Each structure stands twice: as C-alpha cells, then as structure tokens.
Amino acid sequence: MINNQIKQIQSLKKTKFRKLYGQFFIEGVRLVKAAIDWSSSVKEIYCTKQFYHLKNSRLLFADIDKNQIILLSEVQFKKICSTKSPSGIAAVCMIPKQNGVNLKEDKWLYLDRISDPGNLGTILRSASWFGLKSIALSSNSVDPYNSKTVRAGMGAHFGINLYRDIDLHQFSKTHNIIAADTEGLDVDGYNFPKQSVFVFGNEAHGISDENKEAVQQSITIKGQGVGESLNVAAAASIIMHAVSKNK
C-alpha cells in the first residue's frame, strides 16, 4: 500500500499526472502549515517518524484527522521529496476545481504565457500579500502547481483563486484591461479603475499579439537608474503595491 502511494506521489512531479489525479505535492513545514491554516485542500500528510514525535509538531497536527497522517521511514520519505535536505514533512493537496470566471470580481491579474516557474510563484506570493486573489493564466503558461512554482509561492496557492487557460477577451465588456509595458502612463499617480484586469506578459516576448488587441491602456514603472527593464515578477509586485494603495 505504502509503495503504491509513494509511486503516485512521485508521478505528481509531472503535469499530466497532476491533472489526472487533481493533486499536487508540497514539502516543508511552512507550506504544510499554510495548507492546513488557509484551506481545506490537504488530502494526506506524510512525515518521518522522527518529525512526528518532535515536541513542536504537536501543535501542527492538533486539528488534523490522524487518519490523514502517514508515517514513513527516512528512506521512504526521501523518495517522495525533490529537495536535497527534506525537513521531514510533506503533503498531497487537492487542486481546487475550476469554476467559471467571476466577472463581478473587481480586480484581476492576467498572466500571459509566463514561462518561468520561479517568476510565477513570486507573482502569486505578491498577489496574496497585496490582496489580489483572482489570477487568470493564459494557455501556454507554466503549470502553477509545478513544484518550483509552489515553493516560490510560499503558501500563496492557498490564499488565492487560480484560473487556467483563460481567454483575456472575456473581460472586455466588464473590465478595464491594463497592460504593464515599458511604455505607457506612469504608475505613480495613476488612478486605477474599480474594475480592472492587469496584464503581464511573457519574460522574453511580452504580451501576445492576440491579447494586445484586448488591451485598452498601458502603464509603466519609471526607472531612475540604468537597465533595459524590470523582471516581470518585480514589475508585477510594484504594480500590485500601487493597486493596493489606490483602493
């Protein structure tokens, strides 16, 4: 039984199996605690016997059904982890079922073909921090439940709503579609419309030609020093901060 569970967890390293099972894998105390505290998506918790019997672990497991906790040997635990020095605890979580886009939600982020898992995770982390909870991803974006994205998100996945394979044009009648670009209105002093979608494009190629057709306005972050442009995750974080101050 345990060996079969280990094999299934190992398969979650691949996108097709995450989609097949509707599950993703998380590692480490911080991520598992975030999953327990902020969501009901935890299916099973895996930990080493040594971790389980640590004094500090009792608080972590206080509200967990003991049937959800599966103890593994050190050797077994290392088989399911991708980090070099696993902390002794991990979990399998359910990927939330995707409902239709709620056009009554005022503020959205739209991520157009973001390809780097670390960038995507950082954007999700900032979105959670600044209270922008509705995130739409275009087709061809990196899987948001990729292990690198989940680690970079630092628990953000449990505090936001993710929508995959979304067509930007469906927001055209209800929202102001605003692109982050190297040219546009200065984000400082910009009066953000109440119902807005903020579009961030691919790291190398920017916003796709198809999605540019839907963009109604562009904003930019004026630099004071040298450099071609900001990293997309850095730019997104700055703009989200400006949006949060403008509420």
- At 247 the pLDDT is 67
Residue 179 one-letter amino acid: A
Using one digit for the tens of pLDDT, what is the confidence trace for 27-47? Answer: 999 999 999 999 889 999 999
- At 231 the pLDDT is 93
Minimal CA–CA distance to 142: which of 161, 124, 168? 124
Q: What mean pLDDT, rounded, does the chain reach?
A: 94
- In DSSP terms, which residues pair with 218 in a beta bridge? 179
Q: Residue 120 and residue 112: Cα distance in Å, rounded?
A: 11
First to last CA, the chain: 52
Using one digit for the tens of pLDDT, what is the confidence trace for 171-219? Answer: 999 999 999 998 899 999 899 999 999 999 999 999 999 999 999 999 9
- Say if residue 149's pLDDT is above 70: yes
Strand order in the sheet with 69-72: 23-27, 89-94, 42-48, 69-72
Using one digit for the tens of pLDDT, what is the confidence trace for 85-134? Answer: 889 999 999 999 988 899 999 999 999 999 999 999 999 999 999 999 99
Minimal CA–CA distance to 197: which of 105, 70, 122? 105
- At 62 the pLDDT is 82
3-class SS of residue 233: helix
Q: Residue 12 and residue 242: Cα distance in Å, rounded?
A: 37
Q: Are strands 23-27 and 89-94 parallel, antiparallel or unpaired?
A: antiparallel
Asked if 216 contacts 177 with a C-beta cutoff of 8 angstroms, the reply is: yes
Label residue 55 by pLDDT band (50, 70, 90): confident
Residue 99 one-letter amino acid: N
- Say if residue 228's pLDDT is above 80: no
CB atoms within 10 A of CB 240: 21
Task: Give how far Cα 80 sits from Cα of 10, 72, 107, Å.
Answer: 6, 10, 38
Q: What are phi and psi of 242, to 5 degrees?
A: -65, -40
The mean pLDDT value for 140-164 works out to: 96
Q: Residue 22 and residue 18: Cα distance in Å, rounded?
A: 5
- At 1 the pLDDT is 72
Length reported for the chain: 247
Asked if 220 contacts 238 with a C-beta cutoff of 8 angstroms, the reply is: no
Using one digit for the tens of pLDDT, what is the confidence trace for 234-246? Answer: 999 999 999 998 8
| Radius of gyration for the alpha carbons in the chain, expressed in angstroms and rounded | 20
